């Protein structure tokens, strides 16, 4: 069964209720999704063997593993270790069948950057959610570099043709998107000269860090309040060993649940704490959350820590727009938490939430309102009027969006009445262990 058809499977609703007691324990979450995609793709572009431990084995990443395999760089697992046999920069081959990226915007957009630098034609497909998402944001710069699309549209399915003679560009990002930045930088590896991406708000920098680790020349400069990242073309990458740290976007649900359920004390070990990803944790601390970062260390060129969260009385805060890129995937769960805080939480600069796996701004606001939380959207701002408690009791529409499902399944652990979601199948795209890990801490789902 293809991953796209998994999402056509019968919906599996789930109900979250207040557990009998506090949530407690020490757990690990699966590997970071962003780093997992990149490890597979850079391994495919490197010469020799890349080994990866801690790879996230969720549908999104497994689709990327299948894609690199189909492009001639086999990715496989033996024991706990994934191995990718690289083909060298520019050395991938034309796949025999369309590549199905399932639900994954990251897999699709970064792979467009990979394909751009090869003389191959590739058809890319995805599920209903992915087929609605904008690809023009990556296609526009990649077309300037030399990528050609067969169709005259900017949504999947698309057939793209790359070129072994890419033109380097200098590109100011019109949207704060690490996916767009990464697609251009990856294509830039295969261009003749220097390719530069300029960003107003810094986005996650895993591509830059990992490309350097694989041996590419990548320079990051700050100037006039902007960040410029330059990659040198005609690059050579060398196979490496990558250790994937725990995903802070998955840990977010466990941490938030611990903050909401009285008496809880939970530690999530080995979580990535790269500051381009920790906006949620900063915000929770400003709300009064009892969070501590223990055993801070570095693994595979990324900072990690054990994050301990204890039940806390929270207050509403203002989350500034410039923080959005560092917590873009965490707004649904933050909004759920904000319902339990006392006072208003105002989250500015959320335009990008409208083009995620669903329109997350609308889906989050609708879920809050259905559960008796007073919330409103004003332009790109979400305002949640927290009263210290949440009535709950609703059946939430998830719109094929894993993070909407997990956010409301977190809310239901502390609301007065249970909260149900209409489907949980798509949680497997990013965090298949969500339910079992939450239950191990003491959460109650039926
Ligand atoms: C990602 C970047 C973010 C994020 C996504 C993963 C990445 O998207 O929402 O889950 O791995 O680069 P944008 O960069 O498009 O905001």
Q: From start to end of 311-408, where are the E strands?
A: 318-319, 342-347, 374-378, 381-387, 395-396
- Give the per-residue pLDDT at 9: 83
Burial of residue 22 (CB within 10 Å: 0-12, 13-18, 19+) is middle
Q: Are residues 372 and 390 in the same domain?
A: yes
Q: Are residues 221 and 280 in the same domain?
A: no
Q: How far is the CA of 328 from the centre of ligand 1 (A)?
A: 8
Q: What is the mean pLDDT of the chain?
A: 97
- Give the per-residue pLDDT at 69: 99
Ligand 1 atom with the shortest distance to the CA of 249 = 10
Q: pLDDT tens across 200-231, in order?
A: 999 999 999 999 999 999 999 999 999 999 99
Percentage of the chain modeled with pLDDT above 90: 97
**Pairing label, strands 170-172, 194-199:** parallel
Q: Of 329, 348, 422, 423, which is the active-site residue? A: 329
Q: Are residues 209 and 119 in the same domain?
A: yes
382 bridge partner residues: 347, 377
**Closest CA to ligand 1's atom 13:** 177
Q: How far is the CA of 104 from the centre of ligand 1 (A)?
A: 10
From 56, 106, 279, 358, the mutation candidate for ligand 1 (largest count of ligand atoms within 8 A of CB) is 106
Q: pLDDT tens across 166-181, in order?
A: 999 999 999 999 999 9
Ligand 1 atom with the shortest distance to the CA of 328 = 9
**Closest CA to ligand 1's atom 15:** 177
Q: Is 203 in the pocket of ligand 1 (CB under 6 A)?
A: yes
Q: How far is the CA of 415 from the centre of ligand 1 (A)?
A: 30
Q: Are residues 236 and 299 in the same domain?
A: no
Show which of 242, 262, 286 is a domain's final residue. 242
Q: Is 329 in the pocket of ligand 1 (CB under 6 A)?
A: yes
Mean pLDDT throughout 57-82?
98
Task: Identify the three-state secondary structure at position 127.
Answer: coil
Q: Is 34 in the pocket of ligand 1 (CB under 6 A)?
A: yes
Q: Is 2's pLDDT higher than 60?
A: no
Q: Is 227 in the pocket of ligand 1 (CB under 6 A)?
A: no
Q: pLDDT tens across 300-356, in order?
A: 789 999 999 999 999 999 999 999 999 999 999 999 999 999 999 999 999 999 999
Judge contact between 192 and 164, C-beta under 8 A: no
List the CATH number of the domain containing 71: 3.65.10.10
Show which of 215, 242, 269 is a domain's final residue. 242
Q: Are residues 385 and 410 in the same domain?
A: yes
Q: pLDDT tens across 266-315, in order?
A: 999 999 999 999 999 999 999 999 999 999 999 878 999 999 999 999 99
Q: How far is the CA of 11 from the centre of ligand 1 (A)?
A: 26
- Give the per-residue pLDDT at 299: 84
Show which of 242, 271, 287 is a domain's final residue. 242
**Closest CA to ligand 1's atom 10:** 329
Q: Is 1's pLDDT higher than 50?
A: no
Q: Are residues 313 and 408 in the same domain?
A: yes
- Give the per-residue pLDDT at 23: 98
From 134, 135, 204, the mutation candidate for ligand 1 (largest count of ligand atoms within 8 A of CB) is 204
Q: Domain total for the chain?
A: 2
Q: Is 330 in the pocket of ligand 1 (CB under 6 A)?
A: no
Q: Is 427 in the pocket of ligand 1 (CB under 6 A)?
A: no
Q: Are residues 89 and 134 in the same domain?
A: yes
Task: Identify the three-state secondary structure at position 408.
Answer: helix
Q: How far is the CA of 296 from the centre of ligand 1 (A)?
A: 25
Q: How far is the CA of 24 from the centre of ligand 1 (A)?
A: 31
Q: How far is the CA of 352 from the centre of ligand 1 (A)?
A: 10
Provide the domain limits for residue 327: 3-31+245-445
From 178, 321, 406, the mutation candidate for ligand 1 (largest count of ligand atoms within 8 A of CB) is 178
48 φ, ψ (degrees, to nearest 5): 85, -160
- Give the per-residue pLDDT at 301: 83
- Give the per-residue pLDDT at 389: 98
Q: Is 399's pLDDT higher than 80?
A: yes
Mean pLDDT throughout 115-131?
97
- Give the per-residue pLDDT at 8: 64
Q: Is 423 in the pocket of ligand 1 (CB under 6 A)?
A: no
Q: Are residues 93 and 172 in the same domain?
A: yes
Rounded to whole angstroms, how far apart are CA atoms 26 and 267?
Answer: 5
Q: Are residues 19 and 110 in the same domain?
A: no
Q: Are residues 344 and 233 in the same domain?
A: no
Q: Is 153's pLDDT higher than 60?
A: yes
Ligand 1 atom with the shortest distance to the CA of 356 = 9
Q: Is 421's pLDDT higher than 70?
A: yes
Q: Are residues 166 and 310 in the same domain?
A: no
Ligand 1 atom with the shortest distance to the CA of 203 = 14
Which residue in the block uniquely carries the two structure tokens 């909401």? 260
Q: Are residues 236 and 289 in the same domain?
A: no
- Give the per-residue pLDDT at 300: 75
Q: Is 401 in the pocket of ligand 1 (CB under 6 A)?
A: no
Q: Is 178 in the pocket of ligand 1 (CB under 6 A)?
A: yes
Give whole-number Cα distances, 91 to 66, 75, 244, 426, in Å.
17, 15, 25, 33
Helices 434-441 and 248-260: angle between axes, nearest 10 degrees? 30
Ligand 1 atom with the shortest distance to the CA of 329 = 9
68 φ, ψ (degrees, to nearest 5): -65, -35
Rounded to whole angstroms, how far apart are CA atoms 71 and 77?
Answer: 17
- Is 329 a catalytic site residue? yes
């Amino acid at each position: 069964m293809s991953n796209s058809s998994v999402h056509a499977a019968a919906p599996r609703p789930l109900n979250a209720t207040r557990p009998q007691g506090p949530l407690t324990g020490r757990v690990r979450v699966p590997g970071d999704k962003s780093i997992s995609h990149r490890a597979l793709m850079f391994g495919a572009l490197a010469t020799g063997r890349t080994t990866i431990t801690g790879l996230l084995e969720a549908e999104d990443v497994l689709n990327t593993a299948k894609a690199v395999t189909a492009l001639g760089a086999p990715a496989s697992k033996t024991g706990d270790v994934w191995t990718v046999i690289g083909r060298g920069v520019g050395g991938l081959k034309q796949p025999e069948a369309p590549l199905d990226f399932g639900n994954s915007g990251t897999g699709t957009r970064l792979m467009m950057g990979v394909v751009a630098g090869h003389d191959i034609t590739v058809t890319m497909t995805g599920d209903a959610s992915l087929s609605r998402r904008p690809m023009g944001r990556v296609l526009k710069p990649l077309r300037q570099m030399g990528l050609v699309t067969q169709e005259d549209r900017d949504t999947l399915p698309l057939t793209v043709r790359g070129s072994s003679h890419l033109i380097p560009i200098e590109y100011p990002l019109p949207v704060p998107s690490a996916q767009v930045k990464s697609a251009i930088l990856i294509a830039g590896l295969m261009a003749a000269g220097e390719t530069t991406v300029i960003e107003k708000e810094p986005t996650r920098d895993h591509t830059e860090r990992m490309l350097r680790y694989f041996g590419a020349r990548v320079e990051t400069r700050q100037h006039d309040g902007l960040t410029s990242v330059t990659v040198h073309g005609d690059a050579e990458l060398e196979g490496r060993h990558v250790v994937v740290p725990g995903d802070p976007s998955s840990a977010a649900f466990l941490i938030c649940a611990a903050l909401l359920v009285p008496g809880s004390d939970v530690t999530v070990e080995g979580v990535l704490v790269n500051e381009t990803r920790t906006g949620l944790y900063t915000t929770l601390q400003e709300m009064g959350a009892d969070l501590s970062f223990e055993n801070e260390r570095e693994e595979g060129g990324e900072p990690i820590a054990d994050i301990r969260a204890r039940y806390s009385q929270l207050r509403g805060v203002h989350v500034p727009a410039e923080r959005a890129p560092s917590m873009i995937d965490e707004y649904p769960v933050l909004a759920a938490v904000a319902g339990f805080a006392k006072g208003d939480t105002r989250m500015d600069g959320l335009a990008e939430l409208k083009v995620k796996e669903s329109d997350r701004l609308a889906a989050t606001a609708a879920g809050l309102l259905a559960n008796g939380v007073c919330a409103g959207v004003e332009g790109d701002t979400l305002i949640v009027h927290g009263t210290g408690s949440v009535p709950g009791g609703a059946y939430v529409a998830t719109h094929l969006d894993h993070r909407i499902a997990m956010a409301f399944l977190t809310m239901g652990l502390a609301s007065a009445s249970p909260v149900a979601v209409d489907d949980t199948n798509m949680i497997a795209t990013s965090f298949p262990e969500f339910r079992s890990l939450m239950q191990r801490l003491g959460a109650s789902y039926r």
